[in-house]
Amino acid sequence: MATHYHIQELRESLRISVSHKSVWWEQVLAAGIAGAAVWLVSVALLNGRWKLVSSVLAAVLSFIAAVRPKRARLTITNVEFLTQGNFSTRFRAPQTVCIGDVRWLEYQEGSGTEDSPGDPGGLYAVLTRGKACLLPFLTEAQTIEIITQIEKKFPGLAERWRAESPFNAHFLTLGLAKAK
């Protein structure tokens, strides 16, 4: 899986775009499973060549959906985090998180398995109640780099996050790595 991100500094905001593309064998496997599932259903419901047509069509559409990269874009201002993208069925609508609700930012591993995806790994905001995924598919190193860029653009926010984080000065790394 390849994840690419781009940080764009605007006059009063920061925009971070993430693109995640799955590997070729995952795409082929998803298409094969979709084709087989439609074939099994069509054996019971359809007759003649419609079985084959519907199965091939399902496999092709599934492959096209798997080939399309998943994208997310985070826009940060001094009042909100706005996440948009197509990275999950749970996260289709834009998500807005008020800066005042954010206690700190951190990297979190993805939860779930390939059968049950769960929450994606990446940049999370720990809120007064719960958490919110701001940018998915990032590694810990990428997340630290992005948090550092946010800290440079909005230094007052970082000071507040340090005060609230249980990791204090090490809030960037979740306490998993030594501070630099």
Q: Is the pLDDT of residue 175 over 50?
A: no
CATH of domain 2-20+70-173: 2.30.29
φ, ψ (nearest 5 deg) of residue 74 = -115, 125
Task: Give per-residue pLDDT as tens, 9-22.
Answer: 999 999 999 987 77
Task: Give per-residue pLDDT as tens, 59-108.
Answer: 777 767 666 778 899 999 989 999 998 766 555 668 899 998 999 999 98
Helix/strand number for the chain, H first, E second: 4, 8
Up-side HSE of residue 166: CA atoms within 13 Å toward CB? 4
Q: Is the pLDDT of residue 3 over 90?
A: no
pLDDT for the residue 85: 85
**Helix or strand (DSSP H, E) at 55:** helix 50-67
pLDDT for the residue 76: 95
Name the more confident of 141 and 158: 141
Query: CA 11, CA 160: separation in Å to the nearest integer?
Result: 22
pLDDT for the residue 167: 64
- For the chain, give the percent of residues with pLDDT over 90: 28
Query: CA 123, CA 150: separation in Å to the nearest integer?
Result: 12
Contact call for residues 122 and 146 (beta carbons, < 8 A): no
**Tokens (6 digits) for 46:** 């359809």
Task: Give per-residue pLDDT as tens, 107-137.
Answer: 988 765 444 456 778 999 999 888 988 998 8
- Annotated domain spans of the chain: 2-20+70-173, 24-67
- Overall pTM surpassing 0.75 (yes/no): no
Name the more confident of 140 and 70: 140
Name the more confident of 177 and 43: 43
Q: How far is CA 94 from CA 82, 97, 102, 117, 174, in A?
A: 7, 10, 17, 20, 26
